Amino acid sequence: MPDAKTLIRLAQLLGPETLTPILERLVHIARQRRVTRGARLRVDTTVVETNIHYPTDSSLLADGVRVLTRTMRRVAERVGIGTRPVRDRSRSVRRRVFEIDQLTRAAGRGSAATHARRTSRVTMLYREVMTITGAVVRDAERVRQRLTSRQDVVATLGRRLEDTAALVRRVLAQTRARVLHGDTHYPDKLLSIFEPQTEVIRKGKAAKPTEFGKVVKLQEAEHQLITDYTVCPTRVPDGELWGPALDRHPQLFGRAPKLAVADSSFSSRANALAAEARGVRRVALPQGRGQSRPRWFRRALRWRTGCEGRISVLKRRHGLNRSRYRGEEGIERWVGFGVVADTLINMGRVLASRRNG
Q: Are residues 162 and 253 in the same domain?
A: no
Q: Which of residues 153, 180, 207 is at a domain's end?
A: 180
Give per-residue pLDDT as tens, 207-218: 888 999 999 999
Give per-residue pLDDT as tens, 5-63: 565 565 566 667 778 888 999 999 999 999 999 999 999 999 999 999 999 999 999 99
Q: Considering the domain boundaries, does residue 192 fall inside one? A: no
Q: Considering the domain boundaries, does residue 65 fall inside one? A: yes
Q: Are residues 228 and 342 in the same domain?
A: yes
> What CATH number is given to the structural domain containing 293?
3.30.420.10
Cα 11 from chain centre: 20
How many domains does one find in the chain?
2
Give per-residue pLDDT as tens, 140-196: 998 888 776 555 556 778 888 999 999 999 999 999 999 988 888 888 899 999 999
Q: Considering the domain boundaries, does residue 190 fall inside one? A: no
Give per-residue pLDDT as tens, 76-125: 887 765 556 788 999 999 999 999 999 988 876 778 888 888 889 999 99
Task: Please give the share of the chain, as a percent, with pLDDT higher than 70.
Answer: 90
pLDDT band at 1 (very low <50, low <70, confident <90, very high): very low
Question: What range does the domain containing 252 cover?
Answer: 4-52+197-356
Q: Considering the domain boundaries, does residue 186 fall inside one? A: no
Q: Are residues 172 and 301 in the same domain?
A: no
Q: How many angstroms separate the CA atoms of 338 and 236, rounded?
A: 23
Q: What is the pLDDT of residue 207?
A: 81
Q: Are residues 221 and 341 in the same domain?
A: yes
Q: Are residues 201 and 340 in the same domain?
A: yes
Q: What is the pLDDT of residue 39?
A: 95
Smallest CA-to-CA distance from 329 within 245, 236, 233, 234 is with 233
Q: Considering the domain boundaries, does residue 185 fall inside one? A: no
Q: Considering the domain boundaries, does residue 288 fall inside one? A: yes
Q: Are residues 67 and 10 in the same domain?
A: no
Q: Which of residues 180, 212, 229 is at a domain's end?
A: 180
